[in-house]
Structure 1
Amino acid sequence: MTYKSSRDGILERIENFEKDSWINITDPSIEELKEVSQLCNIPIEFLEDPLDLEESARIEYDEETNCTLIINDFPTINNNNQFDSYITIPIGIILGTDYIVTVCSQSGDFLENLIKKNVNTLMKSRFALEILFSISTQYIEKLKKLNKQRLKIENNLRDSLTNKQLYDLMEIEKSLVYFLTSLKANADVITKLFRTNSVKLYEDDKDLLEDVRIENNQGIETTELYTRILNSITGSYSSLISNELNNTMKTLTLFTVFLTLPTLVFSFFGMNVILPIADNDPSSWIITLIIALIFVIWIGLVLSRRRIF
């Protein structure tokens, strides 16, 4: 889709490629990439690299076409999981002589926000900074959602502990790892924008770039904080699980001990040999029970003094 700012400052969708327009490409084919490359005089590599999900954030300049490529990672929902976890994928922002092009394998909410915001396509550098700022705010929003999910799971864990809840915590932790890695890579790109000469920045642009850096740093700090909290929670519940298992084994061991002693007594008096108690004595079974009970009370006192239970 192609957009261009009107004289009234409203971002309008247009059918053809025009000078000073914004070309937004999502999940394109090879033919579409070649067409955009030829019409806009953009290196084909600049259009292909952001489509690689493993591509790292960076800035690259091509002197022959006078084009600058800015690759940043943005968060998106992981469609392979029923739980609302996130991954990060790259988006390419290409600043050409006459065009600004964004290329990505998936569409992002932040691009729709830019359309509603009516950004000016004539100011290409500022347009790119608006995209970077919108990406940084996306991280903050997604982090708030992850934290709400964590609090909900934590409240449920206090009532009952299930494998599903632990798996959900693992998904949140995985999302935070994606966020922290991408945010730090984006921070390097933002730092390079302050020093690069290929992207011309005016004073207002520098102020906006500073806002982008502040927002990105806030995302890094928030992600690190949530990661530490999550690690603390998982560590605590791992200890609780281990403690519950120890208590269960302890209870089973005590039952085994108390049941073994009467069995030994009854087995001894059940042997087919001469015993101190006469076989024809009607009170012999009572004596056997008393002996077994004495053993049980004795072992119970010994275990109680050692604070085993």
Structure 2
Amino acid sequence: MLIIYKSSRNGILEIRENFEKSSWINMTAPSKEELQYVSQLCNIPIEFLEDPLDLEESARIQYDEDTNCTLIINDFPTIDVNNHQFDSYITIPIGIILGKDYIVTVCNQSINSLENIIKKNVNTSMKNRFALEILLSISTKYIEKLKLLNKQRLKIESHLRDSLTSKQLYDLMDIEKSLVYFLTSLKANAVVITRLFRTNSVKLYEDDKDLLEDVRIEINQGIETTELYTRILDSITGSYSSLISNELNKTMKTLTLMTVFLTLPTLVFSFFGMNVTLPIAVNEPFSWIITLVIALIFVIWIGLTLWRKKMF
């Protein structure tokens, strides 16, 4: 699917039916026919349109001298559709192609960040500035998703203090996985932004450089926040792992002590229950009391010994 936008005189993006110069072509999960059509009509290398559709494609910037086109690939966060139990996130690439007469964005999924740009007053004829607006919107989206992940972490942590379940631990694992995706993608995006400052294929004016600096600040903030949340999550999971081990040790210790105390009377009763001559007469009316006293003495003796050794 592709939609063509162009700015009006008031800076409002309007949908156009035909390809016009200085317009923005937004492609979402395009077909091969659409890719070929846009490539030929806009004089854009076909690989520039196909590479961002690969979910494993890394963030980068690339220039083609023959067509004078620049490809910028950035990763942006999106909800993991494979996880139906918890709102975890992954990152997928989006391609921004700066052509001679057009700016093209191509991605496998629809992007909320681009929908926010549609509501802004932007000028599609200023392609470089428009591309920076997209990059800034993507960087801001990371901060929003990090705040949501942190709220989910705090909610899980509050429940962990009352009871610990496997589901809560799995949810923490999903948050940790999302943070790994974020940190990897943000660092790759930061490299792209650094290269934009140095490249000659994308001409930047002073206002554009200020906007690019805002993008770099947002990305660095995202990296620092992600690293902080990752350290906090590692501390939480490590602490609760120690608590789980401690509780397991207490349980095993309690079961062991119970086994010891139950084994001693059993040994005494088994000894006096044998069909042989014993110190206590068979016809002694208080023989069972004597047996209980002997068993109790053994239990008290073992109990005192374990207590002195601070076993309980």
Fold agreement, TM-score > 0.5: yes
Aligned partner of 1:64 in structure 2 is 66
CA distance in 2, matches of 1:77, 1:238: 28
**TM-score normalised according to structure 2 size:** 0.99
Aligned partner of 2:11 in structure 1 is 9
Question: How many aligned residue pairs are there?
Answer: 309
Match status 1:41 vs 2:19: no
Aligned partner of 1:197 in structure 2 is 200
* 1:66-102: CA deviation from partner (whole Å, max 9, x where unpaired): 0000000000000000210000000000000000000
* 1:27-70: CA deviation from partner (whole Å, max 9, x where unpaired): 00000000000100000000000000000000000000000000
One-letter identity of the residue aligned with 2:154: L
CA distance in 2, matches of 1:212, 1:111: 15
One-letter identity of the residue aligned with 1:201: L
What is the aligned counterpart of 2:165 among 162, 167, 184?
162
Q: Return 5+ residue gaps in structure 2 as ranges.
A: none
Question: Which residues of 2 match residues 31-180 of structure 1 at below 5 A?
Answer: 31-82=33-84, 83-180=86-183
| CA apart distance, 1:7 | 1.4
| CA apart distance, 1:118 | 2.4
CA distance in 2, matches of 1:129, 1:2: 19
Question: Which residues of 2 match residues 215-254 of structure 1 at below 5 A?
Answer: 215-254=218-257
* 1:200-233: CA deviation from partner (whole Å, max 9, x where unpaired): 0000000000000000000000000000000000
Aligned partner of 1:277 in structure 2 is 280
SS of aligned partner of 1:159: coil
Aligned partner of 1:21 in structure 2 is 23
CA distance in 2, matches of 1:246, 1:6: 71
Q: Which segments of structure 1 move beyond 2 Å, counting only runs of 4 or more?
A: none
What is the aligned counterpart of 1:30 among 23, 32, 35?
32
CA distance in 1, matches of 2:311, 2:18: 82
CA distance in 2, matches of 1:125, 1:288: 95
| Cα-Cα RMSD | 0.5
CA distance in 1, matches of 2:271, 2:67: 99
Aligned partner of 2:271 in structure 1 is 268
* 1:244-267: CA deviation from partner (whole Å, max 9, x where unpaired): 110110000000000000000001
Q: Does the Cα contact within 8 Å between 2:12 and 2:119 map onto a contact in 1?
A: no
SS of aligned partner of 2:67: coil
